[in-house]
Structure 1
Amino acid sequence: MKIYTKTGDQGTTSLIGGTRVGKDDPRVNAYGTVDELTAFVAHLRDSMDGEENNLELYRNDLLNILEALMTVAALLATTEEASPKVPPLQPERITFLEKRIDEISAGLPPLTHFTIPGGHPLVSLSHICRTVCRRAERAAIAAGHGHPVCNDALVYLNRLSDYLYVLGRGLSEEFNVKEVYWMPER
């Protein structure tokens, strides 16, 4: 299989099912942003290698997330006619995130203020993933204004951004990083 086909040289691409659309189509923006998120999540996971702390549980979480993100991207790249060709996002993927959010949160101090990201490269990277996830969610919602979008994909992206926030807090705890609270000026 060749990597380049030259079919996109005029600014179009194919959705799953063969429909050609402009590369600026909202669906392309949505699945492209999920693709960007996938790359950042992979970078976060890879960056956990070699850490002295035992981050294997988080690494396993992120592998589960990477698999689900591939499905989310495929769902966003699929025309309504071709949707039976793409496997659905299993509801267990969403419940997995909810379970992990609850488990991680149980070991953290109660949240009383907004936190300012940072304190350790992995904490910052988890927040980069969170913000890209929020952008992917917004892009998917925008795509849904003109085309059918799988609701489970939207729910997954929403829950994933919550997970990534809690992951940042969990990593702060793991690395003994004091969370900095945002205290608005009055």
Structure 2
Amino acid sequence: MGNRLSKIATRTGDDGTTGLGDGSRVRKDSARIAAIGDVDELNSNLGVLLCETLPDKVRVALVAIQHDLFDLGGELCIPGHTMITDRQLAQLDDWLADYNAALPPLKEFILPGGSRAASLAHVCRTVCRRAERAIVALGEHETINAAPRQYVNRLSDLLFVLARVLNRADGGTDVLWQHERNAG
């Protein structure tokens, strides 16, 4: 790979712009940079989740997802470039089906909580939803591929399911919303 980042402090962004992967420059508050930033924040939160004790199978999936998110950020960083593929979407679908099949059906809404790992998975899910909103907003102004939007939509579902899986792995269960709690 060579020395791709030989100088971190370039000062080229001091004017409020940043460079994209194609060499063009955009304002740091552009919709594209907002989407890239939200994907980066999601990836960082997944890194925090990976600091927890996790089932090996979950850890392998989350590491693969981190690499996919780096690719997704790369795709957003290079207008017109494709890095997220049907294979990555299919992998999310497979994990979602596999993990969800082992869980009891939901009969109530659940609250984000339980074990620390499950709670962090819920934080990742909410950041993922924000990244999805940012990608949708970007698509309203610029032409982007559908795959990044589809990826984060499916990933947020997977993170919800993984939170449930992680609560069980820690010996707990879902934290149920008690709709009658505030009733008369």
SS at match of 2:15: coil
Task: Name the CA distance, whole Å, in 2 between partners of 1:176 and 1:117.
Answer: 16
Write the deviation string for residues 116-154 of structure 1: whole angstroms up to 9, x where unpaired.
111110010000000000000000110111111220010
The equivalences for 1:6-85 within 5 A come to: 6-48=11-53, 55-80=55-80, 83=81
Give the deviation of 1:19 after TM superposition: 1.2
Give the deviation of 1:76 after TM superposition: 1.2
1:19–1:79 contact (8 Å) kept in structure 2: no
Paired residue for 2:102, among 99, 103, 107?
A: 107
Task: Name the CA distance, whole Å, in 1 between partners of 2:149 and 2:156.
Answer: 11
Question: What is the letter of the counterpart of residue 19 of structure 1?
Answer: S
Task: Name the CA distance, whole Å, in 2 between partners of 1:178 and 1:105.
Answer: 14
> What is the root-mean-square deviation in Å for CA atoms of aligned residues?
1.3
Q: Which residue does 1:168 correspond to in 2? A: 163
Task: Name the CA distance, whole Å, in 2 between partners of 1:132 and 1:102.
Answer: 22
Identical pairs, percent: 38
Q: Which residue does 1:97 correspond to in 2? A: 92
**Match status 1:123 vs 2:95:** no
Task: Name the CA distance, whole Å, in 2 between partners of 1:7 and 1:37.
Answer: 26
List runs of 5+ in structure 2 lacking aligned partners: 1-5
1:124–1:168 contact (8 Å) kept in structure 2: yes
List runs of 5+ in structure 1 lacking aligned partners: none
Task: Name the CA distance, whole Å, in 1 between partners of 2:107 and 2:139.
Answer: 34
2:79–2:144 contact (8 Å) kept in structure 1: no
Write the deviation string for residues 83-111 of structure 1: whole angstroms up to 9, x where unpaired.
2xxx5212111111111111111111111
Report the TM-score, using the length of structure 2 for normalisation.
Answer: 0.91
- Runs (4+) of structure 1 exceeding 3 A deviation are none
SS at match of 2:18: strand
1:72–1:153 contact (8 Å) kept in structure 2: yes
Give the deviation of 1:167 after TM superposition: 0.2
Question: What is the letter of the counterpart of residue 152 of structure 2?
Answer: L
Report the TM-score, using the length of structure 1 for normalisation.
Answer: 0.90
Q: Which residue does 1:5 correspond to in 2? A: 10
